[in-house]
Structure 1
């Protein structure tokens, strides 16, 4: 029989005995009350034993008892024992995690839901200057005060890492990556990429210097070739045969050098000084005329203006990015295709789009399209006259304008290139009297 049933039987028997004893004395109610009082005193004694056990040491053996109280003491003891085992396992797991994090070369910082410091490894002390005695419980932005980090932390968009100098040593370059987990808590990791940063600077300087040095000999070569082409009829046939091909390749080399120099400038120069409200209708119309000249009637190109607000940015850079997208559409779509240059609203602000109904691109290539010199079709691309740097230039221009590139395409379904600009980059038409107008 269950302890609860036993308890009911005991209570009933004691009440009956008390009532019988009271009846013999002529007061059955008083006897019943006395019986119930005795049982209540027993329960109070067991509660007192439970309190003393929990107050003294709940890990020790529970008080001896029978019936319902005995089962209760046993269950509490087994529950506490199970909880202690689970706690020991969690502590061991946490200790292993902390030991493994401590062995990492990268900084690891754990923040609570408010952004306050909870735990960090020794690498974080070295890279970020954190001190356990003073900084625990401080907000992360009180210690890493760079405005770029504060904006990155508050934006809650951690898809891309952030590169900044260390707050304790400006010669050390760190790459921050924040991950959300649990109840809106954050894990901040920082890698020391000083060596990679220096190698990247050396690469940029090398490309810029070599490209700059190549401009002069290419200019001289192009000048002589232009002269020779002018007098090609007077040259021996064997010499005149390759002049046009040489001139074509020289022009291609000049375009490549110009694109490399532009990329180097975009990477090194932060820009922003020349950002003004742009006359988007004029800009799109000029790009359309340039694209039509390149298409030579093979494609139909039109402009759609669906957004009245103007874009705050660099006229030359936005023009370069849009021209690269338009020229790519011209080069890689067959004759008779339609190309649309569009300025329209977007849920995040506004966007510039270049859309065509050409052959399209296999989605497997899309993640790599903005890499330098990446070719979807190497054989066909070499015949189009492109440098392989157009989309890389677009990517860097958009980064300098707080924007990003979206590409939607499938084989035989055309392609859509969308440059998405945030609402902070938009200016109302009526307040932009100083907008930049490109001269035709």
Structure 2
């Protein structure tokens, strides 16, 4: 390239010199130089016009014939065009394969721009969501999916968990929506049909609720007779007395399990909110503390700390169940001689209901699964302590119904802290619920 530039400068100098020589006999050297420069300018304008004609009228053809710097420029532009065309062909082919694969998917795929307007969707989205290619392109997604839960989910920008809703065109069709952010704040909305899974889950819930309900009557009868026979244990042989004691303990355990199953089923089915009221958290913590002290039988030190003056707006029965499950778990698993704290304190703009102990702690590998039904860290010890394995599952569902979440912080040998984090919307300012720490 440097050689070509030197050649162009040499050509310009030659033209200027020739013009000066032509004008010298006539004492018009400046005019001769100007003529040489004008000739050079005309040449370059002609080449520039050829370039313009090529790029605008015949971009697919080969470039005009030229030599020197212009020839090199034409060749480079031509090679660049060929590379660009190949790249565009590959991109179009890739995009075509993506669209074909998306069309083959049974799940709905909808692409939104940074404003939330519809750009593209597959045929499954037309069947599940009722989108129409000629009418809906460019529409905002919330103009078509108007369910308030989807609108809140879309604008909330917290897409870690999917959202389950009925189809906007067929309420018998249950869809699970998942939004993914990509590019320049663009969104990919995917919706899958989970109607069958939803029905199976509903059948499971109904089965558990019905079986649990049916078990209550025979268990009540058994417990009544066992209580009567236990009162007569002095009149029975020692071997039968021991058997009665074990039968009563296992019947009580079965009753607790049935009660927890019924509560969990109600939490899953019932939407809640009808019995919400401002709760005096200090009084509630002290009440649960008394129950935990009775369960502990002096093996642990249990105290209450209230640092938040606002009341929690929620269901007293469900919040009591949550706090009791966490407190009783601490009593069962912290170990003898440990300290347990039931705490109600501020957390950001919201508040935190916290149960903390300095016991043996939990290996972090177990933490993601602690809220699963019947999950046991130590099955032998859990059975011995009388737990049902449903306590933390109940806690999880209660918190979901109260717009809250559960955080667990624990390490082996460093105790465990269970935090129930409530948003500011669930709090009420009052002065009658503050108890001394």
TM > 0.5: yes
Match status 1:420 vs 2:414: no
CA distance in 1, matches of 2:147, 2:235: 67
Match of 2:353 in 1: 352
Structure 2 residue matching 1:343: 3-state secondary structure: strand
Q: Which residue of 1 aligns with 2:138?
A: 137
**Alpha-carbon shift at residue 348 of structure 1 (Å):** 5.7
The worse-fitting range, judged by mean Cα deviation, of 323-332 and 240-249 is 240-249
Q: Structure 2 CA distance, aligned partners of 1:61 and 1:173? A: 58
- Indicate conservation of the 8 Å contact 2:282/2:434, yes or no: no
Contact 1:348/1:421 (8 A) holds in 2: no
Aligned counterpart, 1:109: 110
Corresponding residue of 1:404: 405
What is the match of residue 198 of structure 2? Answer: 197
1:348–1:420 Cα contact (<8 Å) kept? no
Q: Give, in angstroms, the shift of residue 263 of structure 1.
A: 0.3
Secondary structure of the 1:141 match is helix
The aligned counterpart of 1:33 is: 34
After superposition, give the CA deviation of every residue in 1:299-325 in whole Å (9 maximum; x if it has no partner).
Answer: 111112122222211111111111100
What is the CA distance between 1:25 and its match in structure 2? 1.4
Q: How far apart, CA to CA, are the structure 2 residues paired with 1:32 and 1:175?
A: 80
- Matched residue, 2:89: 88
CA contact (8 A) 1:332 1:358 kept: yes
Cα distance in 1, alignment partners of residues 172 and 224 from structure 2: 46
1:261, CA displacement in angstroms? 0.4
What SS does the corresponding residue of 1:221 show, helix, strand or coil? Answer: helix
CA distance in 2, matches of 1:315, 1:67: 89
Asked if the contact 2:19/2:36 (under 8 Å) is kept, the reply is yes
CA deviations 1:398-428 (Å, max 9, x no partner) are 1101111111111111111111111221222
Match of 1:157 in 2: 158
Q: Which residue of 2 aligns with 1:391?
A: 392
> 1:106·1:192 contact (CA, 8 Å) conserved in 2?
yes
**Structure 1 CA distance for aligned equivalents of residues 208 and 243 of structure 2:** 30
* Counterparts in 2 of 1:318 and 1:164: CA distance versus 1, 3 Å: same
1:48 aligns with 2:49: yes
Distance 2:208 2:12 in 1: 95
- What does residue 180 of structure 1 align with? 181
Q: What secondary structure, in the 3-state scheme, does the structure 2 residue paired with 1:241 have? A: helix
Cross-structure match for 2:264 = 263
Tell me which moved more, 417-426 or 80-89: 417-426
Distance 1:140 1:215 in 2: 49
Distance 1:340 1:426 in 2: 22
1:230-275 deviation line (CA, Å, top 9, x unaligned): 1110123332221111111111111101000000000000011111
User: Partners in 2 of 1:16 and 1:341 — Cα distance?
Assistant: 99
Partners of 2:362 and 2:236 lie apart in 1 by 45
Partner of 1:304 in structure 2? 305
Gaps of 5+ in 1: none
Name the CA distance, whole Å, in 2 between partners of 1:82 and 1:292.
78
User: Would you say the 8 A contact 1:161–1:177 is kept in 2?
Assistant: yes
1:129-156 Cα shifts (integer Å, max 9, x gaps): 1111111111111111111001001000
1:331 aligned residue? 332
Segments of 5+ residues of structure 2 without an aligned counterpart are none
Output one character per residue of 1:100-140: Cα deviation in whole Å (capped at 9) or x when no partner. 11111111111111111111111111111111111111111
